[in-house]
């Protein structure tokens, strides 16, 4: 039986997570590679196919936006894991804890004292003009002063082998169910490797999540619910998965009513009070009385109950100000301001088109930069300069001139690559990294992550809506 | 339990039972058609009539042929009750209440989903494939009932699941008996001719009642069969047995209910008592068709009462 041949594998031109620049395997991948080399291409393919089947049978599917019934896709799981050694992980952990702590202080400040603005660290138009800024929350302090209970920042590793934070997701970060289910599947794919490599477990995430949610309520044994927009939402699998794993109620807006500023579920036996809501519905849709009047996803009166402290919403409303790509550029200064520390995990260099010098640089160098619309996500509203046509660049130049505040630009970063199973062979594909943090009394970083991989050759867009897949992420104890 | 969730569980199980019944109806009819004269209309039209969807069938088809009927009942996307749509709906409901069911149940319902998706994509199924499909659906559903039974806690969700299943089953048994009974009596032959025996056997088999009927009554008679399918208290697909178990389930709900309406309980007790106090000869004398027709209306009223008592939002909005 022929063995897998990796001699044709091309690790040049990018940071490769498995091989160094001399094509020598990195220590964290050594045992894994030994195992891989003993395998035939046929066996590798079998394992990959078994994974696809497992995902279908688990119902790990997502609906593609704007599609009706019938288009359910799985998020392709590539069986070759991303492996991170302990030292690298500790660095990430510290960096994320620092960042989240500062961002939380920042949110509390802008809704209360606004010192950060008075001290001219960030211009006020960066905050108050934004749709994500909720005036209704001015003067409000959430339980334990924590706003961002659940964070899933996107990190990348550049050609220099260093991690950078690409964006923060403080509203409703998704994907954690894939981190958990990917692990369950890979444990079946490579059972012999887990013990040998001493991989840190991730499956206590849902326990910690439940503890986090419960700790925020004043009630003795609080009733916890996950609020979903419903089965047509692309992340519905995750909502139901988390509710089920936590033993929480999975509710839709129509299942809740607010009476005397308390929130209740409509049950077969009457009304039952709800104390903590892990809501996966965006701020704008949670309460038609206050926000989007046409929202059918929310519950009238929910926000009022929240302001009165009769229900806890997780994450707190209003955290979206930090997700704004223009605010991102100020985060190094924000960390310094609140913690008096230098940033441990650097940002990607960001040009703010609202600032005259930066705008000029962006317009002059658009072919070299990645331009992003500040209020878009999911890989949309983006121009990848080096891969774009003149026509596309021209379109973005017009857009930037019309509304500079809506755009930022960053140098093109060559995302690191991990070997991936592509049509019977192994080729390098670009990846990012989304670790998850839970924050109540302290900030816990789960030792694992969702690694997203751009499956198209040469592509650096890892979003699931645009041909991205995923990998399991192994954090080693050594 | 959330009212919406209870409602979803109820329908998930009704759809499943419906899909399984359809698969069995068609499988038995298919088998039967192999040994009878090739008058397709006579053989296949009643099947569509049983389901109450003849009008829709007629609007979509010009002829009543085996292959059209099978397509209509198994795969037709326009037919809200086709096996295809029943499984899709059941699985969609299961997805919406994923937190209420176990991994085993979910994976099995998902397997059924992929089965109908795959089969419906095939251009033309040959006879062997069609029968394999019916077999897979029946087996898949029964496997699911088993997993449900073996892994789901006997809490409220379980009770609503059972109620959905029993009401659907009672309805289907009444329909298959209604249509077939008249067709067979209308065919003028006395029970006893070889042709008739095959047909009556088929009727029993289409509700999996043949073995249990033979065990209890031995000889095949039209009255005996009607009695068995309506009034037998022990056979799990007879109308009375389904009603008894529905009543029992509703009783358990009421025991844990805090006040409120018990319209559903009142109605089911009425219906069950009425069945226990009637004789098959009286039913036949008064008209079996009218009796069964009325039965279906009453079953629907029980279903509506359950909705009003347990699922609806309005009951709590005052």
Percentage of residues in chain A having pLDDT higher than 90: 70
Q: Of A230, A248, A251, which is closest to B2 when you measure between CB atoms?
A: A251
Residues of chain B found within 8 Å of residue A249, distances taken between Cβ atoms:
2, 99
Residues of chain B found within 8 Å of residue A59, distances taken between Cβ atoms:
95, 98, 106-107, 110
Q: What would the CATH number be for the domain defined by A349-412?
A: 3.30.1490.270
The answer to whether the CB atoms of B95 and A240 lie below 8 A apart is yes
Min CA distance, B112 vs chain A (Å)?
Answer: 10
pLDDT at A69 over 70: no
- The predicted structure's pLDDT at residue A106: 97
Among chain B residues, the shortest Cα distance to A58 is held by B107
The answer to whether the CB atoms of B4 and A266 lie below 8 A apart is yes
Residues of chain B found within 8 Å of residue A234, distances taken between Cβ atoms:
none
pLDDT (mean) for B9-30 = 94
pLDDT (mean) for B126-132 = 92
- The predicted structure's pLDDT at residue B76: 95
Q: What are phi and psi of A32, to 5 degrees?
A: -65, -45
Residues B82, B85, B88, B90, CA torsion sign: negative
Percentage of residues in chain B having pLDDT higher than 70: 94
Residues of chain A found within 8 Å of residue B107, distances taken between Cβ atoms:
57-59
- Tell me which of B168 and A125 has the higher pLDDT: B168
pLDDT at B85 over 90: yes
Place A64 in a pLDDT band, splitting at 50, 70 and 90.
Answer: low
- Tell me which of A154 and B36 has the higher pLDDT: A154
Residues of chain A found within 8 Å of residue B99, distances taken between Cβ atoms:
240, 243-244, 248-250
Q: Where in chain A are the domains?
A: 90-162+205-344, 349-412
- The predicted structure's pLDDT at residue A67: 43
pLDDT at B198 over 90: no
What ipTM was assigned to the predicted interfaces of this complex?
0.78
Among chain A residues, the shortest Cα distance to B89 is held by A69
pLDDT digits (tens, 9 = 90+) for A220-253: 999 999 999 998 888 899 999 999 999 999 999 9
The answer to whether the CB atoms of B99 and A249 lie below 8 A apart is yes
Q: Of B92, B106, B156, which is closest to A268 when you measure between CB atoms?
A: B156
The answer to whether the CB atoms of B316 and A266 lie below 8 A apart is yes
pLDDT digits (tens, 9 = 90+) for A24-54: 999 999 999 999 999 888 899 999 999 988 8
pLDDT at A68 over 60: no
The answer to whether the CB atoms of B4 and A269 lie below 8 A apart is no
Q: Tell me the range of A455-464, B26-35, B280-289 where mean pLDDT is highest.
A: B280-289
Min CA distance, A288 vs chain B (Å)?
Answer: 19
- The predicted structure's pLDDT at residue B188: 44
The answer to whether the CB atoms of A268 and B107 lie below 8 A apart is no
Which fold is adopted by the domain A90-162+205-344?
Answer: Rossmann fold (3.40.50)
Among chain B residues, the shortest Cα distance to A59 is held by B110
Q: Tell whether A268 lies on the interface with B, counting CB pairs under 8 A.
A: yes
Place A71 in a pLDDT band, splitting at 50, 70 and 90.
Answer: low
pLDDT (mean) for A284-303 = 90
The answer to whether the CB atoms of B110 and A56 lie below 8 A apart is yes
- Tell me which of A248 and B253 has the higher pLDDT: A248
The answer to whether the CB atoms of B88 and A249 lie below 8 A apart is no
pLDDT digits (tens, 9 = 90+) for A374-418: 877 666 788 988 888 999 999 999 999 998 888 999 998 889 999
Edge-to-edge strands, sheet with A249-251: A249-251, A224-227, A276-279, A312-314
The answer to whether the CB atoms of B2 and A267 lie below 8 A apart is yes
pTM summary value: 0.86
Residues of chain A found within 8 Å of residue B90, distances taken between Cβ atoms:
none
């Amino acid at each position: 039986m022929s063995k897998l041949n990796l001699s044709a594998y091309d690790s040049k031109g990018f940071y490769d997570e498995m091989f160094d620049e001399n094509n020598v395997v990195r220590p964290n991948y050594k045992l894994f590679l030994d195992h891989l080399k003993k395998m035939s291409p046929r066996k590798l393919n079998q394992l990959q196919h078994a994974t696809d089947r497992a995902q279908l049978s688990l119902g790990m599917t997502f609906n593609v936006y704007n599609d009706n019934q019938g288009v359910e896709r799985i998020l392709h799981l590539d069986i070759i894991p991303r492996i991170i050694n302990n030292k690298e992980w500790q660095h990430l952990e510290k960096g994320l804890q620092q960042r989240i702590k500062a961002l939380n202080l920042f949110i509390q400040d802008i809704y209360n004292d606004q010192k950060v603005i008075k001290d001219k660290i960030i211009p006020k138009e960066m905050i108050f003009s934004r749709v994500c800024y909720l005036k209704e929350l001015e003067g409000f302090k959430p339980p334990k002063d924590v706003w961002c209970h659940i964070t899933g920042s996107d990190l990348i590793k550049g050609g220099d082998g260093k991690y950078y934070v690409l964006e923060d997701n403080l509203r409703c970060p998704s994907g954690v169910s894939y981190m958990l289910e990917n692990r369950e599947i890979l444990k079946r794919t490579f059972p012999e490797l887990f013990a040998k490599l001493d991989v840190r477990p991730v499956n206590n995430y849902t326990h910690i999540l439940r503890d986090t949610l419960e700790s925020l309520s004043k009630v003795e044994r609080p009733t916890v619910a996950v609020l979903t927009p419903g089965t047509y939402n692309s992340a519905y699998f995750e909502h139901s998965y988390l509710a089920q794993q936590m033993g929480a109620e999975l509710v839709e807006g129509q299942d809740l009513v607010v009476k005397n500023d308390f929130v209740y579920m409509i049950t077969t036996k009457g009304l039952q009070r709800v104390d903590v809501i892990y809501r996966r519905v965006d701020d704008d849709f949670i309460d038609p009385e206050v926000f989007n009047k046409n929202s059918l996803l929310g519950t009238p009166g929910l926000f009022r109950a929240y302001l009165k402290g009769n229900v806890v919403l997780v994450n707190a409303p209003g955290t979206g100000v930090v997700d704004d790509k223009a605010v991102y550029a100020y985060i190094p200064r924000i960390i310094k301001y609140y913690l008096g520390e230098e940033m441990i995990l650097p940002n990607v260099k960001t040009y703010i088109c609202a600032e005259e010098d930066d705008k000029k640089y962006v317009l002059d160098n658009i072919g070299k930069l990645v331009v992003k619309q500040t209020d878009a996500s999911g890989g949309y509203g983006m121009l990848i300069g080096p891969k774009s046509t003149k026509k596309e660049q021209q379109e973005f130049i017009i857009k930037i001139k019309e509304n500079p505040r809506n755009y930022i630009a960053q140098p093109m970063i060559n995302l690191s690559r991990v070997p991936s199973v592509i049509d019977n062979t192994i080729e390098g594909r670009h990846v990012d990294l989304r670790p998850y943090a839970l924050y109540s009394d302290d900030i816990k970083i789960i030792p694992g992550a969702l690694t997203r991989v751009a499956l198209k050759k040469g592509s650096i867009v890892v979003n699931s809506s645009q041909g991205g897949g995923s990998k399991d992420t192994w954090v080693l104890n050594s | 339990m959330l009212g919406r969730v209870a409602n979803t569980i109820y329908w998930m199980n009704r759809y499943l039972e419906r899909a399984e019944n359809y698969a069995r109806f068609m499988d038995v009819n298919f088998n039967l058609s192999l040994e009878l004269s090739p008058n397709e209309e006579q053989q296949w039209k009643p099947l569509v009539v049983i389901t109450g969807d003849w009008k829709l069938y007629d609007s979509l088809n010009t002829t009543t042929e085996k292959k059209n009927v099978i397509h209509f009942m198994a795969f037709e996307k326009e037919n809200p009750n086709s096996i295809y749509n029943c499984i899709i709906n059941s699985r969609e409901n299961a997805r919406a209440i994923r937190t209420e069911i176990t991994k085993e149940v979910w994976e099995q319902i998902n397997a059924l989903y992929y089965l109908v998706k795959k089969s419906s994509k095939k251009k033309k199924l040959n006879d062997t494939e069609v029968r394999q499909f019916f077999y897979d659906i029946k087996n898949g559903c029964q496997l699911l009932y088993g997993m449900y039974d073996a892994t789901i806690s006997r809490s409220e969700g379980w009770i609503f699941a059972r109620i959905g299943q029993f009401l659907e089953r009672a309805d289907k048994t009444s329909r298959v008996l209604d249509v077939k009974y008249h067709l067979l009596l209308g065919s003028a032959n006395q029970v006893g001719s070889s042709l008739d025996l095959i047909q009556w056997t088929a009727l029993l088999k289409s509700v999996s009642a043949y073995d249990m009927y033979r065990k209890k009554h031995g000889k095949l008679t039209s009255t005996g069969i009607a009695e068995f399918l309506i009034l037998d208290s022990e056979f799990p697909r007879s109308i009375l047995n389904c009603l008894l178990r529905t009543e029992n389930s509703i009783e358990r709900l009421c025991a844990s209910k805090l006040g409120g309406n018990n319209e559903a309980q009142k109605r089911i007790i009425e219906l069950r008592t009425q069945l226990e106090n009637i004789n098959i000869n009286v039913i036949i004398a008064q008209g079996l068709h009218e009796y069964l027709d009325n039965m279906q209306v009453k079953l629907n009223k029980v279903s509506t009462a359950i909705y009003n008592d347990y699922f609806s939002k309005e009951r709590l909005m005052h």
